[in-house]
Structure 1
């Protein structure tokens, strides 16, 4: 397995932020960004930002976070539809993984996860979920969803927030060893460093097969 280093940010990726990252850490292979603006949380991806990152040969990992809980099959479907609509609005290529942002303090149930995965399955995009496998209810809910429908485990790319180590560049990145739910799942991404004091970014490692299916 091969792994690639990259970052995510709540702020737009522009030349100033990219130079901060390159000068202090290294050049990222991918950049995680939010599909929509959520006031006081994150600014949304724009066409100009997409053009800038692609011009730097940096792939985009699309994140959808305009929701506050993850309960109910219908709710999962609705959140997925909004993620798909925003991906289409921005011209995100079909076949790209879209990541639902599930924080550790969210309520989560297996029905929501199935609703998200089922809706992505027929959309042309692929199912991804950012999660904390240690704190909060995600891991148990995910494993219940897998038990009910094995496709959930096979189709979803999981982005783990644990363990949180420290922010580094690619040369000092840890070996790929994220925590994961105790069931079948493709843990292909790991946010191992959060809230850099140098640049407003988090640092990540991802599996090359995921990099190839980003935007």
Structure 2
């Protein structure tokens, strides 16, 4: 029986799917009979889920397996954003105990044995800055990690970019405010510079020491 998950119904040419086709055989030479329930792992931890131009949601689908014949189409995990998603497949045989497997599905046609995984990947959650609320921050404050949570702070430490002499970035409107440490060669001291704009609107590296 071939089943298409409900959240695949809005599929477009930009989304990559994979068809898993296999014959499930028991260790005793017979074929599996029962159901396999497939669900997308931890969708709430990987929002927003999408593949190409298709918006995905968490869903569960049960496939009835007769004489070992299994076929199901899923979105490929390597095409889902954020990365790190996987599927859980719960096997329930007509008789005997069931079991669960973790599947990591690549693009294209594949088999169950090719997608079985011993560990589930960790979703890589992404947030736009516009999604963060004010959280009592005032104008000009940045954010810092206090060991437990993010909090506003007026004391944002500058990032110092390190370059070998002659390889530092160009000072312009894009690098304005950059602080760089230029490494000196043998017998030459390192220098600390900042990219700044002068009154004539010209950009240049200014040595701090």
Q: TM-score range by the shorter chain?
A: under 0.3
TM-score in terms of structure 1 length? 0.23
Which structure is richer in relative contact order (CA contacts within 8 A, separation 6 or more)? 1
Structure whose residues are more often helix by fraction:
1
Structure whose residues are more often strand by fraction:
2
- Look at both structures and tell me which one has the larger radius of gyration over its CA atoms: 2
TM-score in terms of structure 2 length? 0.24
